[in-house]
Amino acid sequence: MSNAKSLPLLDSAGEGVVPCCPPLDQRPITAEEAETAARMFKALGDPVRLRLFSAVAAHEGGEACVCDISDVGVSQPTVSHHLKKLKEAGLLTSERRGTWVYYRVEPAVLAAMGQLLTTTAPAARAAAV
């Protein structure tokens, strides 16, 4: 993953990566965390981009080229534009192999966003206050 280090929700932490932010209901998210996370939510806040993101994530092997996911009813330049936006938001990584650029969802990013939206148990919430 050539640009994995730029994934904004993640910090390098020795052996692996750790998500930046706790569940949204555990404690109020900070301004800095909110800037990062809002950028990613905004990138998914467009139906076509969300479909493309899902198409890449669900594609065999967890990666896809533009040629694989052009069935969302928009032109290929529009697809490329949206894929670029998703990449800029840190949701996709890309790699050129031969003629095509292949896009991949970083599972850790998906997990980090999912964690933001996890419902905290009341006990855990109380402990965090």
Q: Does 119 bind its own copies (CB under 8 A)?
A: yes
E strand residue ranges, the chain: 10-13, 16-19, 63-65, 92-97, 100-105
**Long-range contacts of the stretch 120-124 (C-beta < 8 A, 24+):** 120/23, 120/25, 120/26, 124/26
Residue 98 or 121: which CB sits closer to its own copies? Answer: 121
Minimum distance from CB of 101 to its own copies (Å)? Answer: 19
Of the listed pieces 5-13, 54-62, 77-85, 94-102, which binds its own copies according to CB under 8 A? Answer: 54-62
Q: Which of 1, 84, 114, 127 binds its own copies (CB under 8 A)?
A: 114
Dihedral sign, Cα of residue 18, residue 95, residue 36, residue 115: negative
x/- map, 2-41, its own copies, by CB under 8 A: ----------------------xxxxxxxx--xx-xxx-x
Residue 50 or 101: which CB sits closer to its own copies? Answer: 50
